């Protein structure tokens, strides 16, 4: 993945510095103990059941496995990735959603990542959207790698899961603000999707306005450090939609903690895979 088309952003270089000072240096100073303890934390399986009058009756009881923020790289390598892949496979979900930040820094990691993700299968498919970290280096390579692995990347577009009359799944690319997320949602070409995948939870504002029954997001990592009594009191408390389940009228949002991390520390905020069962009413 080299050549004239490769464009590393200012964000890539900033993230590299962050990784050096917040991850690699502290870990090196304690002989690798931070990383070792971090990857020993079990990946929690969070099961939820939500109901919406907008959810199509033909898909009542659908089970969705939600995987996000893998950040494949220094902190999350092959062994940890396979733990997550095996956990998702064991769920036997009808549909699998991967909501961004597949790689941590470099698209150079993508071929090995997608060798593992290619093991994921579901009756209605495995759908992927990109996150901000996927845009640091070579986002087109991430999209291409997902497609070559048999996954369905969605870049501001919609697809039917399960054929012509299947579940309508929309997926938007990374966007930083509510208006930008809403603009990307408009490009999907669907008046109202059944399921929206968006790395940034801010997309829920536009999704709820359109009556989309379920939005799945990541990005925040649940703050990584949170209060035991209230997980939404965390290091990203300034972001209103930062962890767990939100519900406005007939629309639901689930913001997962993800399985990866920015730095090798999680307190009261375990890595997780969410399993969502959707019911119509």
pLDDT tens, position by position, for the chain (281 residues)? Answer: 444 355 676 677 777 877 777 677 777 777 777 788 888 899 999 999 999 999 999 999 999 999 999 999 988 999 999 999 999 999 999 999 999 999 998 888 899 999 999 999 999 999 999 999 999 999 999 999 999 999 999 999 999 998 888 999 999 999 999 999 999 999 997 678 999 999 999 999 999 999 999 999 999 999 999 999 999 999 999 999 999 999 999 999 999 999 999 888 899 999 999 999 999 98
- pLDDT value at residue 2: 42
CA gap 258, 81 in Å, rounded: 12
Phi, psi of 53 (to 5 degrees): -70, -20
- pLDDT value at residue 4: 38
pTM for this predicted structure:
0.93
CA gap 134, 62 in Å, rounded: 29
CATH assignment, 10-280:
3.60.21.10
Q: Which helix (H) or strand (E) holds 274?
A: strand 272-280
- pLDDT value at residue 1: 43
Place of tokens 């966007």: 175
- Could you tell me the two tokens for 39? 């990857």
| Nearest alpha-carbon partner for 107 in 24, 40, 12 | 12
Distance, first Cα to last Cα, the chain:
48
- Could you tell me the two tokens for 231? 């997980």
CB-based burial label for 143 (10 Å; 0-12, 13-18, 19+): buried
| Nearest alpha-carbon partner for 186 in 196, 93, 10, 219 | 196
- pLDDT value at residue 191: 74
- pLDDT value at residue 190: 65
């Amino acid at each position: 993945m080299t050549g004239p088309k490769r464009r590393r952003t200012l964000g890539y270089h900033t993230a590299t510095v962050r990784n050096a000072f917040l991850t690699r240096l502290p870990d090196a100073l304690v002989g690798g103990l931070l990383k070792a303890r971090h990857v020993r934390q079990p990946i929690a399986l969070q099961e939820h059941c939500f109901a919406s009058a907008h959810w199509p009756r033909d898909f009542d009881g659908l089970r969705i496995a939600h995987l996000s923020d893998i950040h494949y790289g220094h902190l999350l390598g092959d062994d940890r990735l396979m733990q997550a892949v095996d956990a998702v496979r064991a769920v036997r979900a009808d549909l699998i959603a991967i909501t961004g930040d597949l790689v941590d820094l470099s698209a150079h990691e993508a071929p090995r990542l997608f060798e593992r993700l290619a093991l994921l299968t579901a009756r209605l498919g495995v759908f992927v959207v990109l996150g901000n970290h996927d845009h640091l280096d070579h986002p087109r390579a991430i999209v291409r790698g997902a497609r070559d692995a048999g996954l369905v990347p969605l870049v501001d577009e919609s697809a039917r899961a399960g054929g012509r009359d299947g579940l309508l799944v929309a997926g938007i690319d990374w966007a930083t603000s509510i208006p930008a997320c809403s603009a990307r949602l408009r490009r999907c070409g669907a008046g109202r999707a059944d399921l929206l995948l968006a790395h940034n939870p801010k997309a829920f504002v536009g999704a709820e306005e359109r009556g989309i029954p379920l939005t799945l997001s990541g990005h925040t990592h649940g703050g990584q450090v949170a209060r035991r009594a209230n997980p939404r009191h965390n290091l990203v408390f300034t972001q209103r939609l930062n962890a767990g389940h939100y519900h406005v009228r007939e629309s639901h949002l689930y913001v997962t903690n993800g399985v990866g991390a920015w730095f090798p520390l999680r307190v009261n905020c375990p890595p997780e895979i969410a399993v969502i069962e959707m019911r119509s009413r």
